[in-house]
Structure formats: C-alpha cells, structure tokens
Amino acid sequence: MADTAPLSLCDREPHVPADRLVAEMVPPPRFDSVRFDTYIPDPNQPSQTEAVRVLANFAAGLSGAHAVGGGNRGFLGFGKFGKAKAAKAPAGPRGVYLDGGYGVGKTHLLASLWHATPAEPSLKAFGTFVELTNLVGALGFQKTVQTLSGHRLLCIDEFELDDPGDTVLVSTLLGKLVDAGVALAATSNTLPGKLGEGRFAAADFLREIQGLAARFHPLRIDGEDYRHRGLPEAPAPFADEEVTKAAYATEGASLDDFPSLLAHLAKVHPSRYGALTDGLKVVCLTDVQPVPDQSTALRLVVLADRLYDREVPVLASGLPFDRLFSEEMLNGGYRKKYFRAISRLTALARDAKGLVEGA
C-alpha cells in the first residue's frame, strides 16, 4: 500500500503564470521523443509516407536565417509534385496544414516537424489552439506578437474552427507572425456540421484563416485510428472497490468520483488543466456516467487531451468510455472532438489495466 492517501483533482486549483505558458510551448511528454523515423506509416495509405517526405523537406527548408519582415529565407514552396524548393516571397506557402481524421498521427508528424527544424527550442513553439489563445489572454495581443515573432516555426495542433471569435483572433495573430517571417504548421478540427472525416477540413481551414490561405500547403493524411490498429479492445471498467484499492496502492495516484470531477472542471480554466495533472502517475475515477451537457463534454475533451499528452493512465469504474457522450453529441458539430476523446481515453484505460492486476 502507498504511504499516503491518493491525491484529488477536485482539491486542486492551480495558478499558471504567463511565463510558464510560454516556456511550455514545446511538444508534450508523449511526443517529446517522436521523430519522422518513428512514425510508422500504414502500408495501405501512401499519403502517410508522402506526408513524412514533404514535412521533412519543409523542416530542411527552415535551416536558413530567420526571415524578418517577410523575407523569403527559410521558407519552402512546393512544386507540382510536392518537392521542396526555394520560395520567393510572397509566392510559395510559408506553412503546412495537416488534414485528416483523428488517430492518423497528425500530432506525431507535427511534433516531428518541430524536432526536425534546425533551430534552438527557444526559437520554435508548439501548442494547441487553446494554449495559443490562452497565451494571448495572458500576455495580451501585442506582447504575444512580440514574443513569437522572433521564432522560426510555430506549430498549432487542433486548430479550433468551431469558435469564430477565437479563429479570427488567431488568424490575425498568424498574419502578423507571417509578416515577421515565422513559418507555420497546423492541424485542425472540422467546423460544426461538417461531418466528413477530414474531407471538408482543408477548405474550411483555409477559408477560416482568411487572407492566410495562400500561405498554407494542405497535406492530406488518410488512414484509420492508429491507437486501435491491431490492438485489443479497451478493458471493461472495473468495480469501485478495485479502482479505490489501486489508487491507495499506487504512489502518485489521484482518486475522484466522476460527477464531482466534472463539476470541478467548471471552476478551473481549461488553460490550467495541464497544471491540474502535475505530478500524477495515474488518474483513478469512480462512477463514470454519461456527460450531462455539451459545455461539460467540451471541458472533458480538453482534460482528456492533457492526460493523453502527459501519458497519464486512467483507471475507471462505471460506464465504459465509449458511452460517455450521447448520440446527439456524437452526431453533432463537435463529433470529431468527442471521438478523439473516446479514442484517447480508451488508450489511457488500456495503459492503466495492469494497475488493478498488480494491486
């Protein structure tokens, strides 16, 4: 047994200073060691192999000096067959957009691009769309422009096309950064109502970022969710007693009942969900129930992303994770987010299975 009682997420109300938000704009722990050569393309999906080639060329093209004031050094154009070549501003894309369904490895490739770009970590940034908007909120728009304009590359994961206000804000920010010579790379979610698995995503993304469309080279990545490719089904939920016993037996575990955790998330800004999980080795949840409403569901999606990024296993009792969201939610505009959350929580539940067996 562990020497102390489990921690509780519901007892945590972290404060995250602005300088931490900037310092943490690097690939999260799950993607700290990924590289292009650790990406395993599906042999039945040639677009995955092509994506690695094009992105490696893109990274290699960023080896020149920072192109302050919209100069053209360090950026790539793409020829007829996607071959990298020197670009003359303002022709040639200064960014790439990875278009595809959930679980095809877009984040792996985006993080690999960050790692492959020949620049000091302080000269390249990686974060989700939510983290970027949180940075603007913490620093202010002009300070954010000043902070990021000296970077060689900005990678934005999960660009939120379903929030028009934030999309315009970030589109304006990206315009300023492109003018300062920053190269861009992004993945995104689909707009509400656009239910094709990525089929409409590229067009939606390019339209939503308005005047920046010509600066992006859309790169389609087909495939199935790799998290479940050839893997066994997710483990069934455990009994409350089993989860509680494992929590007390595991150093660095948290233990909360699911309804209380959902209520607590409403009191903590999503920008702090990463800090909410600081130091945790496993999250233990009892009485998992269907999520009651869309606002709560979207907060849970952010928490699932932060847990997945940080490789924190999730041990749970109650309903299985594929029953968290109602049919209405799974058929609605945020469908893609909910399926991503189910996919990631399922992977984390698989990671936690051995904790009960060893308790």
Query: Is the residue at 21 inside a domain?
Result: no
126 and 166 fall within a common domain: yes
Query: Is the residue at 34 inside a domain?
Result: no
Q: How confident is the model at residue 251 (pLDDT cuts 50, 70, 90)?
A: very high
Say which range, 143-157, 160-174, 277-291, has the weakest mean pLDDT: 160-174
Distance CA 185, CA 99 (A): 11
Average pLDDT of the chain is 83
Output Rg (C-alpha) for the chain, integer angstroms. 21
87 and 206 fall within a common domain: yes
Report the length, in residues, of the chain: 359
Q: Tell me, what's the pLDDT at 134?
A: 83
Q: Which residues constitute the domain of residue 242?
A: 9-16+230-357
102 and 52 fall within a common domain: yes
The per-residue pLDDT for range 202-224, each reduced to its tens digit, is 677 777 777 777 788 888 888 87
88 and 166 fall within a common domain: yes
Domain at 119, CATH number: 3.40.50.300
209 and 249 fall within a common domain: no
Query: How many domains does the structure of the chain reveal?
Result: 2
What is the token pair recorded at 3? 């020497």
Instruction: Give yes or no for a contact between 312 and 282, defined as CB atoms under 8 angstroms apart.
Output: yes
Instruction: Give yes or no for a contact between 180 and 170, defined as CB atoms under 8 angstroms apart.
Output: no
| CA dihedral for 164, 328, 295, 106, sign (positive or negative) | negative
Q: How confident is the model at residue 272 (pLDDT cuts 50, 70, 90)?
A: confident
196 and 256 fall within a common domain: no
Distance CA 63, CA 218 (A): 21
* Residue that finishes a domain, picked among 223, 250, 273: 223
Residue 252 one-letter amino acid: G
Q: The whole model's pTM is what?
A: 0.75
Query: Is the residue at 29 inside a domain?
Result: no
116 and 212 fall within a common domain: yes
Query: Is the residue at 182 inside a domain?
Result: yes
Residue 294 has pLDDT above 80, yes or no: yes
* Residue that finishes a domain, picked among 223, 245, 275: 223
Smallest Cα–Cα separation from 34: which of 120, 131, 108?
108
99 and 210 fall within a common domain: yes
* Residue that finishes a domain, picked among 204, 223, 242: 223
